[in-house]
């Protein structure tokens, strides 16, 4: 989405026109979920995707028609039956509603106002704090033009709009806090499209597992920080995808860093040794990270927990640690271990908090 918005704002800043096609509602099985978007340009080229197949081709044709007919936004609804097969021959069986919104010079707000709105949307999303777009897609009270957009920040405050009228009170009241991890949905003629806060993954340990996790996690839209006490293991060559590469004593670095960490930081301890893992967990256990996991066998984890309790950490503090780390998929290789870890990270990001297997407890015969 960030890449698409970069393309869109560049297009608008050059005073060029296009159609912004956004998937505002889905039901059943569909190739893309609400929030997906595609740009269609006057020459028929596109950026982004709504899932391919016949639906995407028809959306493109009808989007171009909106440009030719004066630039009025349209809601396009498709039932995914035999008439809308996909390139792989599968039929999803769901329903998709797409807003084709021509961004033209003839819009009442003017193209400069359109540019300001999407520039603001891009800045908010790239800021990583999360936001919600409320888009008019049906009948509202009072009536509002389809395609009218209102942008709310993570606190629920409106920070931009692309509409001729202020949002009705019912629209604002129906906003769901991002802390509740809302999913996209349509209520009373309004499509609510939340963008959850971006998550930064702090990987403590730049070895093989840390490197493999970083590669996979970056591919599923985590920002990456890596910490190691050896410069060669936190290098740009090993971690080209990382936003931050920290080199220094693990304990001292985390002692300084931990008080600044909040829920948008996930921390992963995958160092090369028992003592480094213990030191990292000692400093991270009381941090306010949204997720904290440590690799290791149950025996090793229990020994570390006992040491940390002796150093003054409460059992309740350690109870939130995801250890053993990752989902149990019978991992044998480094890549399989990384897949199991990243799967758990995705589940925590998308679902709140989850674990498919019990975690180690200090109490004999019990697990968390």
pLDDT bracket for residue 236 (50, 70, 90): very high
Asked if 325 and 298 count as a contact pair (C-beta separation under 8 A), the reply is no
Q: Which domains, and CATH codes, for the chain?
A: 2-195 (no CATH), 200-351 (3.40.50.720)
Closest CA to 275 of 308, 247, 253, 248: 308
Nearest Cα neighbor of 269 from 225, 322, 205 is: 205
Confidence at residue 89, expressed as pLDDT on a 0 to 100 scale: 46
Mean pLDDT score of the chain: 89
Answer whether residue 362 shows pLDDT above 60. no
Average pLDDT over residues 29-45: 88
pLDDT for res 238: 97
**What's the confidence (pLDDT) of residue 81?**
63
Instruction: Spell out the residues 6+ positions from residue 296 whose beta carbon is closer than 8 angstroms to its own.
Output: 274, 277, 304, 323, 324, 325
Whether pTM exceeds 0.85: no
Instruction: Quote the CA–CA distance of 171 and 148 in Å, as a whole number.
Output: 12
Burial of 49 per CB tally in 10 Å (0-12, 13-18, 19+): middle
Tell me: the pLDDT tens digits for 281-337? 999 999 999 999 999 989 999 999 999 999 999 999 999 999 988 998 898 899 999
In 3D, which of 99, 94, 75, 76 has the Cα closest to residue 84? 94
- Categorise residue 187: left if φ over 0, alpha if ψ from -120 to 50, beta otherwise: beta
What is the rounded average pLDDT of the residues 337-349? 94
The rounded distance, in Å, linking the Cα atoms of 195 and 187 is: 17
How far is it, in rounded angstroms, from Cα 279 to Cα 204?
A: 11
CA atoms of 47 and 60, how far apart (whole Å)? 11
Name the DSSP letter for residue 16.
-
Residue 177 has pLDDT above 60, yes or no: yes
**Whether 12 contacts 109, CB under 8 Å:** no
- Does residue 192 or residue 95 have the better pLDDT? 192
- For the chain, counts of helices (H) and of strands (E): 10, 15
Closest among 178, 135, 124, 172 to 155, alpha carbons compared: 178
- Confidence band (pLDDT; 50, 70, 90) for 10? very high
Q: How much is the average pLDDT of 168-185?
A: 90
On the CB side of 321, how many CA atoms lie within 13 Å of its CA? 34
Which of 92-95's residues contact partners 24+ apart within 8 Å by CB, and which partners? 92/28, 92/29, 92/30, 92/31, 93/28, 93/29, 94/26, 94/27, 94/28, 94/29, 94/30, 95/25, 95/26, 95/27, 95/28, 95/30
Residue-wise pLDDT tens digits, 195-212 = 988 999 999 999 999 999
**Token reading at 64:** 């171009």
Residue 168 has pLDDT above 60, yes or no: yes
Instruction: For residue 290, give both structure tokens.
Output: 């949204």
What is the model's pLDDT at position 357? 46
pLDDT of residue 88: 45
Phi, psi of 315, rounded to the nearest 5 degrees: -55, -40
- CA 201/CA 335 separation, integer angstroms: 18
């Amino acid at each position: 989405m960030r890449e698409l918005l970069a393309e869109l704002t560049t297009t608008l800043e050059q005073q060029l026109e296009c159609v912004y096609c956004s998937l505002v509602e889905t039901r059943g099985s569909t190739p893309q979920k609400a929030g997906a978007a595609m740009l269609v340009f006057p020459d028929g080229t596109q950026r982004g995707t709504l899932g391919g197949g016949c639906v995407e081709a028809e959306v493109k044709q009808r989007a171009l028609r909106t440009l030719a007919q004066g630039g009025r936004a349209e809601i396009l609804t498709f039932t995914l039956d035999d008439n809308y097969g996909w390139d792989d021959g599968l039929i999803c069986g769901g329903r998709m509603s797409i807003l084709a919104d021509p961004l033209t010079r003839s819009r009442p707000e003017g193209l400069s106002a359109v540019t300001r709105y999407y520039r603001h949307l891009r800045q908010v999303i790239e800021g990583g704090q999360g936001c919600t777009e409320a888009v008019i897609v049906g009948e509202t009270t009072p009536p509002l033009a389809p395609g009218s957009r209102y942008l709310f920040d993570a606190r629920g405050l409106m920070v931009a709009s692309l509409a001729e009228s202020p949002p009705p009170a019912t629209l604002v009241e129906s906003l769901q806090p991002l802390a509740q991890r809302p999913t996209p949905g349509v209520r009373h003629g309004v499509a609510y499209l939340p963008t959850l806060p971006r998550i930064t993954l702090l990987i403590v340990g730049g070895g093989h597992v840390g490197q493999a996790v970083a590669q996979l996690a970056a591919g599923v839209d985590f920002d990456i920080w890596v910490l190691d006490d050896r410069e060669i293991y936190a290098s740009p060559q090993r971690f080209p995808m990382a936003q931050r590469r920290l080199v220094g004593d693990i304990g001292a670095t985390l002692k300084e860093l931990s008080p600044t960490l909040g829920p948008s930081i996930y921390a992963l301890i995958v160092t090369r040794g028992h003592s480094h893992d213990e030191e990292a967990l000692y400093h991270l256990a009381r941090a306010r990270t949204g997720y904290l996991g440590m690799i290791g066998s149950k025996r090793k984890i229990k020994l570390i927990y006992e040491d940390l309790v002796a150093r003054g950490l409460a059992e309740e503090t350690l109870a939130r640690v995801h250890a053993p780390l990752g989902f149990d998929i019978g991992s044998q290789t480094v890549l399989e271990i990384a897949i199991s870890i990243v799967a758990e990270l995705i589940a925590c990001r998308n679902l709140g908090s989850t674990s498919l297997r019990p975690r180690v407890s200090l109490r004999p015969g019990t697990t968390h």
